[in-house]
Amino acid sequence: MIEDNGGGASGFADLMLAPELCRALSDLGYEEPTPIQLAAIPPLLAGRDLVGQAATGTGKTAAFALPVLQRLLAGDERAEPLALILVPTRELAVQVAAAMRSYGRDMGARVLAVYGGEPIGRQLGPLKRGVDVVVATPGRALDHINRGTLKLGGLEILVLDEADEMLDMGFAEEIEAILASTPAERQTALFSATMPPRINGMVRRHLREPVRAELGRQAPASAGGLLVRQTAYLVPRGYKAAALGRVLDLERPTATIVFCRTRDEVDQLTESLNGRGHRAEALHGGMDQKQRDRVMARLRSGTIDLLVATDVAARGLDIDQLTHVINYDVPSAPESYVHRIGRVGRAGREGTAITLTEPREQRMLKTIERVTKRPIKLEKLPTLAQLRSERLERMRTELRETLLKDDGELNAFRSVVGPLGAEFDPYDVALAAVQLAHEASEPPREDEEIPAVEQPSADDRRPARKTRPRDQGRPTGPAPRRGRRATTGTTRLFVSTGRSDGVRPQDLVGAIAGESDLSGRDIGAIEIADRFSLVEVPESAADDVVRALRGTSIKGRKTTVRRERYPAR
C-alpha cells in the first residue's frame, strides 16, 4: 500500500496553514511537516506560548516562522514590527531571515536581520521604513532599542531561538532587558536544544502556561532486531556532495537508497551523483505505481545503483534487495531514522545505514542514538590517498585472478603486447597497461579536499565566557606577512577555509580578533592555501582561540579551527 499525497505539501494544509504558505513550502520541496512542526505549529497558531525542545536539523525554524508569517497575513500593514526573533549568532540571524523570506515569498513579508558586525547605519534605513519581522542577535537588538530605532510597542510575538546557546554566550542580561521592553500581552515561544535549570527559570518568569513540545522522548518502533551496521560521518557544510561521493567510492554499494529532506535536494543530488559517474535515479512522490515499479526494476537489474528520495516518495516501496540506506542529512526525528533504516537488514540479511552529519546536527544524532538504544559509530571520511590505495589493491587482486585463471583468452592481446615488448621493457609495458585500465575503470573525478571536522566535546555548547562576547564590529588589523614558519612561543592553527572561498588575511585577523581576546597585533604569519589557511598565534592563547571560533563562519562559510595536526618541521 502506498500512502501518497502526490508530493504536495498537503500535510501543512492539515495544520491550517494559509495557501500562500503551503504553496511556498511545496515549491521548496517540503513534503510533510516534521515532528516539531506538527507539535509546535497548531498551538502557536492558536496564540499559545510554547517551549520547544528541538535542536538544529529538526525543522524548528519553520515551526516558529510559519505561525509568525500567518499572523502577518491576517493583519494590515503596520508601522512597528509584529515579531522579534532573537538568535545567538549573526549566521543564524541571516539564515532565519532567509528562511522566513522564502516561506513568505508570496506575501511580501518585510524581514530584516540585525546583528553585530554590520555597520549599524545600514540597519537604520529599513528599520525606519518599517519591517514586519526582525531577526536579531541580543546585543545589537538592545542597542537599537536603546537608540529608539527598534520600537517594540506593537510587538505581538517574541521568539527565543537556541535559548540555551544565548545564555551560554552570556546574553542573559540583554534578553531580560529586551523582554522588559516588549508588551506584556505578547506571545512568546522559546526553542532550546537542552533544558537546563536556567532555561526553565526563564520559562517560568516570562512564558504564560506554555505548551511543551518535546521530541525524542517516546521510544520509536524498535530498531533493536535489525542487522544493521550503523555509521555516521561528520562532514563540514558545503562538502556534503563530495563526502557522499567518497563514501560511495569506499562502500561501492549495489542497491542503495539515499534520503534527502526536500524534493529540490533530491533533484540536485541525483544530478551531481550522475555527474560523478554514479548511476542514480530520483524517486518522486508524484510518480504512479507503474513508474515506481520501473525504477525498482532498474535497481534490481543493476541498471542503476542509487535511488535518491524523500521519506514521502519512498513510502510503500518494495525494496527488499536494498543493501544500504544513506541519510544525506540527519533525519528530523528518531522515528524517521528508524523507519528509514528499517528498509535494510531485513529477513536476516545484513545492511548498512550511513548518516552524513554536519557538526551542528550532531546533537540530533546523539538523540537518535539514545532513543534507539543503538550505537552509531562515528567514522572518519577516507582520504583520497586511502581510496586510491584501495582501488590499486583491488586492481592487483583482479589482475592476479586473471593471470591465474588464464584459459587462453589473454592470447587475443598478444598483438598489442608483442611488438611493444620488443620495443620497451615488458615491465614498463605492464605498468602502462595498468595505468590505462585504472583510468578506464574509474574516470578521474574532480578530487576535492574535504577538511577534517574537529570533534566537539560530548557537550558541544560553547563554554560560558567571562565577558559578554562582542557581537559588535570586528577590528581589522594590518595583514601580517605571509609564509613564515611558526616561531618560538607560537603555534599554528588550521582554519578550514582558504583562497577558493575568497578568504584574505584580513578576514582571518578580523575573525580571530573579533571573537577571541587576541588583537590583530598578536597574530603572526598567515598562510592561505586553496582550501585552508594556517594562522600563527601565541601558544598560550591557541586553545582559547579554537574555542572562541567554534561554530563561527568566515566569509559566509562554516569554518573549523583547530591546532595544526602536522606542524611543519
Contacting positions for ligand AMP (CB under 6 A): 30, 33-34, 37, 56-62, 261-262
Sheet containing strand 211-214, edge to edge, reads 111-114, 133-136, 83-86, 157-160, 187-192, 50-53, 211-214
Which residue's CB is nearer to ligand AMP, number 273 or number 313?
313
CB contact at 8 A, 135 and 111: yes
CB contact at 8 A, 146 and 181: no
Which residue's CB is nearer to ligand AMP, number 111 or number 525?
111
Which residue's CB is nearer to ligand AMP, number 30 or number 233?
30
Which residue's CB is nearer to ligand AMP, number 30 or number 239?
30
For the bound state, the minimum distance from the C-beta of residue 503 to ligand AMP, rounded and expressed in Å, comes to: 25
The torsion angle over the Cα atoms of residues 538, 543, 545 and 547, rounded to 10 degrees, is 180
Which residue's CB is nearer to ligand AMP, number 239 or number 532?
239
Task: Give bridge partners of residue 327 from the DSSP assignment.
Answer: 259, 355
B/e letters for 65-96, b = 16+ CB within 10 Å, e = fewer, are bbbbbbbbbeeeeeebbbbbbbbbbbbbbbbb
Distance between CA atoms of residues 499 and 505, nearest Å: 10
For the bound state, the minimum distance from the C-beta of residue 261 to ligand AMP, rounded and expressed in Å, comes to: 4
Grid coordinates standing for 521? 597585533
For the bound state, the minimum distance from the C-beta of residue 478 to ligand AMP, rounded and expressed in Å, comes to: 38
Q: What is the distance in angstroms between the CA of the first residue and the CA of the last residue of the chain? A: 64
Q: Give the total residue count for the chain.
A: 569
Which residue's CB is nearer to ligand AMP, number 263 or number 278?
263
For the bound state, the minimum distance from the C-beta of residue 562 to ligand AMP, rounded and expressed in Å, comes to: 24
Residues 6 or more apart whose Cβ sits within 8 Å of residue 39: 52, 63, 213, 215
Q: Strand 211-214 to strand 50-53: parallel, antiparallel, or no bridges (unpaired)?
A: parallel
Distance between CA atoms of residues 73 and 135, nearest Å: 18
For the bound state, the minimum distance from the C-beta of residue 309 to ligand AMP, rounded and expressed in Å, comes to: 13
Distance between CA atoms of residues 568 and 148, nearest Å: 53
Which residue's CB is nearer to ligand AMP, number 363 or number 374?
363
Distance between CA atoms of residues 91 and 93, nearest Å: 5
Q: With 0-12 CB in 10 A as exposed, 13-18 as middle and 19+ as buried, what is 381?
A: buried
Backbone phi and psi for residue 376, each to the nearest 5 degrees, phi listed first = -115, 115
For the bound state, the minimum distance from the C-beta of residue 67 to ligand AMP, rounded and expressed in Å, comes to: 14
For the bound state, the minimum distance from the C-beta of residue 558 to ligand AMP, rounded and expressed in Å, comes to: 13
Which residue's CB is nearer to ligand AMP, number 21 or number 528?
21
Which residue's CB is nearer to ligand AMP, number 59 or number 520?
59
